[in-house]
Amino acid sequence: MILLELLNMVTRLWHAYERMLQTHPIITKIAVASPMFALTDVAVQTIEQRRDKDLSREGKRGSDETTLDLRRTATQALFGVYYATVHAHFIWGRLEVLFGGVTFLTPFAGALSRVCIDQFITGTPLFNTVFFYTTGRLAQGMSHEDAMQNVSQRLWPMLCAHWSFWVPFHTLNFWLVPFRHRIVPAQIALFGWSAFMSYTGAKKQHPAATIE
């Protein structure tokens, strides 16, 4: 009985989500993405603080501070708004329009073509550039010049990591999932990935070595 009620509740929520996607697609995608980025950052900060407290007790380098960095969390939430609007809605939507009239040998080939454009030209380089710039500029209070340096030092390693996971994932996502629902599996995968991004973005970058 409880299982049936739970199933009915999930079904009602899904139908409500479907209606919202039809009537207010951008707002709905923001409502999914922005809290997810923020909550993931809170989880990452909590883990980091527990680790630092353990190190402090052991006499190693660490900190007893337990206050959340709300500026960092707000930056992650704002980035979630950017991701949902620019990437999950406009870029993916334009790809559907661009490739909508093209006939491919198989649906898989069509999905792979969309993913290649998104990952190597329009989406991923912009996604990670904006992430590292906003993390440096807004969350860490860097100047514009320092934030751009933050991007230049971190962008390529992150792109390599990004492509190794997201190219196969999005190929399946674009192949099997209709456009309006793609943000759902993407958000599930992003829950873990955004934790990695939150941790990476918050790490202090060592200054680049200079040659005298």
pTM, to two decimals: 0.80
Q: For position 153, what pLDDT does the model report?
A: 92
**CB-based contact 139:71 (threshold 8 Å):** yes
Predicted confidence band of residue 210 (pLDDT cuts 50, 70, 90): very low
Q: Kindly tell me the burial class for residue 34, based on how many C-beta atoms sit within 10 Å of its own C-beta (0-12, 13-18, 19 or more).
A: buried
35-49, 63-77, 125-139, 147-161: least confident range: 63-77
Structure tokens at 205: 């970058």
Rounded to whole angstroms, how far apart are CA atoms 124 and 130? 10
Rounded to whole angstroms, how far apart are CA atoms 135 and 63? 22
pLDDT tens digits, residue range 56-91? 776 666 555 668 899 999 999 999 999 999 998 999
Rounded to whole angstroms, how far apart are CA atoms 107 and 123? 21
**CB-based contact 65:110 (threshold 8 Å):** no
